[in-house]
């Protein structure tokens, strides 16, 4: 295997450039542990399917950082870079996050040397996505800092403005400034987080609006494509005939939402299917081993009754990964059940339910067994087609009540008091108001003292009880966790803890939607990934 080295060339800043910075903070060098914390925070927002590059330090490099993928992915950081970052005072973490984000983008985009002409594209893409996900993670570099940094790189390294196989300096600066300005002008980082919050609350249309807004600003990563496709797929499940929604999918765990929806006439299902498939295949093209996109494509194929295609897709994923996840086993079980291959359906259901945290597999297996036992003489697909709507609703409600803890209603923990500002109102960025119907996202310009990132959301919705002409504004304050290993003190839970620890607490989730665990009485949403806690949102609805 050839050694791959893709580096972001940065260098020492002069004293003149650093005038006005907090010089006192420059005397203390950031620890390697703190650097790793930034790297792992970025990795969470890049959603790297669990593969995080190893961080190494060097005292002999002629450049601040580089990414290599020889045998395993590694990001190497020069010790000088720590001193450089610390000289920026309160912006030290932002500087390091920008450097690490660029290198992480090379890893995320699976850059390899190949033809040297690809380097131009590599560097442009790494600048774009490193900057975007650094912003999403809370590390916001300004246009002024970016421009000064790039100028200093070329000045200190005596670089030509036109290096062979690299973007021209002016071109790189123009593109970088344009993307940073777009991220800041349109609050793209907070729109992204808002999309996750609204998706978790079951507000699918507004989540789609957020993701489409980002997508239309030409930020079209594999993750954005995948998430937008998932939102479309949830919309499909909310509008299909009830008997076709009897099983739950990894992107849709909200039985209440999907069972009670009745606005199917307003949705163009063929168009949603088409858009979803295009996005998922684009995501897989960008990240060939993107497990989430493969699983979501299998969901789409099952919804379209292409069971053979779903099975082929999932078995191909098994071949690449070397094993099946419990969600992949669950989807294989569904596909085989709907193909009337009961033996294989039983085999994969048992594999899926062996994972005790797989709520959806337990629900689906129980529904499957109930239907099979009640109609043993019929093919399974015919049993489903014969169901009445009220039978489906009652069955799913019964199964979900057994699989979740809806009856557990503990008193409020007052988590909001621990994270929201007590008296002084923080300053906010300008709003995003060019979404229709009315939609606004305002983010605080700085982290709260509690370490959280505050976002204010306003959205317009129709009050169904008052009729379609009656609209009202719904307002939320949402605090997003932003620091690696930041705990939920009242629950003794922190990022990286296994889901099993979360589920062992006395306080149980009231609803589960995909990888989101909702604790509605606590106004808490915990996000998980690959059986680990990766972040959470604490919110309050403003009356």
pLDDT tens string 211-240: 888 888 767 777 788 888 988 988 888 776
Of residues 523 and 121, more confidence is placed in: 523
Question: Is residue 470's pLDDT more than 90?
Answer: no
Does residue 242 share a domain with residue 117?
no
Residue 539 backbone class (left: φ over 0; alpha: ψ -120 to 50; beta: rest)? beta
Under the banding of pLDDT at 50, 70 and 90, the label for residue 95 is confident
The answer to whether residues 391 and 477 belong to one domain is no
- Last residue of one domain, picked from the residues 185, 212, 244: 185
Nearest residue to 299 (alpha-carbon basis) of 238, 229, 346, 365: 229
| Residue pLDDT, tens place only, 6-20 | 333 222 222 222 233
* Mean pLDDT to the nearest integer, 298-312: 92
Task: Find out whether 238 and 204 touch, Cβ atoms under 8 Å.
Answer: yes
For residue 37, the model assigns a pLDDT of 84
CA distances from 438 to 32, 195, 303, 433, 472 (A): 45, 15, 32, 7, 10
Average pLDDT score, the chain: 77
Q: Report how far residue 330's alpha carbon sits from residue 353's, in angstroms, rounded to the nearest whole number.
A: 8
Query: Residue 489's pLDDT band (boundaries 50, 70, 90)?
Result: confident
Give the range of the structural domain holding residue 97, as residue numbers without chain letter. Answer: 5-185
Q: Is the domain of 38 the same as that of 161?
A: yes
Average pLDDT over residues 48-71: 80
Q: Is the pLDDT of residue 307 over 80?
A: yes
Same structural domain for residues 494 and 521? yes
Alpha-carbon distance 140 to 133, whole Å?
9
Is the pLDDT at 181 greater than 50, yes or no?
yes
Residues 438 and 398 in one domain: no
Structure confidence at residue 21 (pLDDT) = 36
* Overall domain count for the chain: 3
Q: Are residues 143 and 35 in the same domain?
A: yes
pLDDT at position 465 is: 58
How much is the average pLDDT of 248-261? 43
Distances (CA, A) of 350 to 328, 401, 469: 12, 21, 49
Could you tell me which residues are beta bridge partners of residue 529? 532
Please give the C-alpha separations between residue 201 and each of 141, 219, 386, 468, 476, in angstroms, as whole numbers.
30, 24, 32, 22, 12
Range with the largest mean pLDDT of 156-170, 329-343, 430-444: 329-343
Tell me whether residue 196 is in a domain: no
Residue 516 has pLDDT above 90, yes or no: no
Average pLDDT in the 347-375 region? 86
Q: Which two tokens stand for residue 256?
A: 């209440």
Would you give the distance in Å from CA 445 to the centre of its chain? Answer: 22
Asked if 307 and 442 sit in the same domain, the reply is no
Model pLDDT, residue 256: 30
Give the pLDDT band (50/70/90) at residue 390.
Answer: low
364 lies in some domain: yes
**Mean pLDDT, rounded, for 383-412:** 65
Residues 6+ apart with CB under 8 A from 295: 250, 314, 317, 325, 327, 328, 331
- Specify if 288 maps to a domain: yes
On whether residue 301 sits in a domain, the answer given is yes
> Which of 10-24, 50-64, 232-246, 253-267 holds the top average pLDDT?
50-64
On whether both 340 and 420 belong to a single domain, the answer is no
Tell whether the model's pLDDT for residue 325 goes beyond 80: yes
pLDDT band of residue 251 (cuts 50, 70, 90) is low
Give me the pLDDT at residue 8, please.
31
Residue 6 makes CB contacts below 8 A (sequence gap 6+) with 66, 67, 103, 106, 111, 122, 126
Express each pLDDT in 96-150 by its tens digit: 888 898 888 888 888 875 555 677 788 888 888 888 888 777 787 888 878 777 7
State pLDDT tens for residues 73-89.
899 988 877 877 877 77
Shared domain for 150 and 12, answered yes or no, is yes
Residue 59 lies inside a defined structural domain of this protein? yes
Q: Are 385 and 513 in a shared domain?
A: no
CATH of residue 140's domain is 3.30.2010.10
Residue 508 placed within a domain: yes
pLDDT for 28 beyond 60 = no
Residue 333: per-residue pLDDT: 93
Please give the residue that has the higher pLDDT: either 23 or 505: 505
Please identify, among 371, 403, 435, the residue that sits at the C-terminal boundary of a domain.
403
Say what the pLDDT of residue 153 is: 67
Instruction: Based on the fold, state whether residues 374 and 446 are members of the same structural domain.
Output: no
As a whole number, mean pLDDT of residues 410-434 equals: 74
Residue 211 lies in a domain: no
* pLDDT computed for residue 250 by the predictor: 72
Q: 243 pLDDT band (50/70/90 cuts)?
A: low
Last residue of a domain, one of 185, 211, 230: 185
Q: Is the pLDDT of residue 488 over 50?
A: yes
Considering only residues 152 and 354, tell me which one the structure prediction assigns the higher pLDDT.
354
Angle at 177 between CA 175 and CA 181, to 5 degrees: 120
Rounded to whole angstroms, the Cα distance separating 4 from 135 reads 27
**Please, which pLDDT band fits residue 261 given cuts at 50, 70 and 90?**
very low
In a shared domain, residues 361 and 263: yes
Handedness of CA 423, 428, 431, 432 (dihedral sign): negative
Percentage of the chain exceeding pLDDT 70: 79
Q: What is the pLDDT of residue 244?
A: 65
With a pLDDT cut of 90, the percent of the chain lying above it is 11
Would you say 169 and 154 are in contact if contact means Cβ atoms under 8 Å apart? yes
State the pTM of this model.
0.69
What b/e readout covers 501-526, taking b as 16+ CB neighbours within 10 angstroms? ebeeeebbbbbbbbbbbbbeebbbbb
- 70: Cβ contacts below 8 Å, ≥ 6 apart: 1, 2, 3, 4
What pLDDT, on a 0 to 100 scale, did the predictor assign at position 329? 93
Token pair recorded at residue 81: 């870079």
pLDDT reported for residue 477 = 93
- Residue 485 DSSP SS3: coil
Average pLDDT estimate for 502-508: 82
| Separation of alpha carbons 432 and 185, rounded Å | 8
| Average pLDDT of the residues in 259-269 | 49
Q: Between residues 302 and 465, which one has the greater pLDDT?
A: 302
**Position 233 in a domain:** yes
Helix axes 92-108, 32-46, angle to 10 degrees: 50
């Amino acid at each position: 295997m050839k050694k791959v080295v893709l580096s972001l060339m940065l260098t020492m800043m002069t004293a003149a450039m650093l005038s006005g910075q907090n010089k006192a903070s420059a005397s203390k060098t950031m620890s390697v542990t703190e650097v790793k914390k930034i790297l792992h925070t970025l990795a969470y927002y890049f959603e790297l399917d669990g593969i995080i590059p190893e961080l190494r330090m060097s005292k002999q490099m002629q450049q601040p950082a580089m990414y290599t993928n020889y045998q395993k992915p590694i990001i190497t950081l020069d010790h000088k870079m720590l001193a450089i970052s610390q000289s920026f005072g309160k912006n030290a973490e932002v500087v390091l996050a920008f450097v690490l984000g660029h290198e992480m983008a090379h890893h995320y985009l699976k850059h390899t040397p190949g033809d040297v002409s690809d380097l131009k594209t590599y560097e442009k893409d790494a600048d774009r996505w490193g900057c975007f996900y650094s912003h999403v993670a809370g590390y916001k570099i300004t246009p002024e800092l970016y421009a000064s940094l790039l100028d200093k790189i070329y000045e200190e390294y005596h670089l030509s403005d036109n290096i062979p196989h690299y973007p021209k300096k002016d071109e790189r600066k123009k593109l970088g400034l344009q993307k940073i300005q777009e991220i800041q002008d349109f609050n793209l980082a907070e729109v992204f987080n808002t999309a996750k919050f609204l998706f978790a609350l079951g507000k699918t249309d507004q989540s789609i609006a957020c993701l489409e807004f980002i997508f239309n600003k030409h930020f079209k990563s594999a993750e954005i494509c995948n998430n937008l496709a998932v939102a479309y797929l949830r919309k499909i499940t909310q509008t299909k005939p009830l008997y076709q929604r009897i099983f739950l999918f990894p992107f849709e765990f909200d039985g209440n939402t999907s069972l009670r929806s009745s606005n199917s006439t307003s949705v163009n299902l063929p168009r949603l299917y088409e858009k979803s498939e295009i996005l998922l295949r684009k995501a897989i093209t960008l990240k060939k081993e993107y497990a989430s996109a493969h699983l979501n494509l299998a969901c789409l194929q099952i919804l379209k009754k292409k069971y053979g295609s779903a099975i082929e897709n999932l078995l191909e994923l098994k071949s690449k990964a070397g094993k099946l996840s419990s969600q992949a086993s669950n989807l294989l079980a569904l596909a085989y059940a709907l193909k009337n291959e009961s033996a294989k359906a039983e085999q994969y259901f048992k594999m899926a339910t062996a994972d005790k945290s797989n709520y959806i597999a337990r629900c689906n297996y129980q529904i499957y067994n109930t239907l099979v036992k009640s109609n043993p003489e019929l093919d399974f697909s015919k049993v489903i087609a014969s169901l009445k709507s009220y039978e489906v609703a009652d069955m799913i409600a019964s199964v979900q009540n057994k699989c979740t803890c809806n009856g557990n209603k503990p008193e409020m923990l007052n988590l909001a008091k621990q994270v929201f500002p007590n008296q002084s109102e923080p300053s906010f960025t300008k709003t995003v108001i060019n979404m229709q119907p009315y939609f606004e996202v305002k983010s605080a310009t700085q982290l709260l003292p509690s370490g959280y990132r505050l976002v204010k959301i306003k959205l317009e919705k129709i009050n169904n009880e008052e009729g379609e002409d009656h609209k009202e504004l719904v307002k939320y304050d949402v605090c997003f966790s932003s620091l690696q290993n930041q705990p939920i003190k009242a629950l003794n839970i922190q990022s990286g803890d296994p889901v099993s620890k979360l589920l062992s607490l006395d306080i149980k989730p009231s609803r589960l939607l995909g990888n989101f665990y909702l604790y509605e009485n606590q106004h808490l949403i915990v996000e998980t990934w690959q059986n680990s806690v990766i972040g959470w949102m604490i919110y309050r609805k403003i009356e």
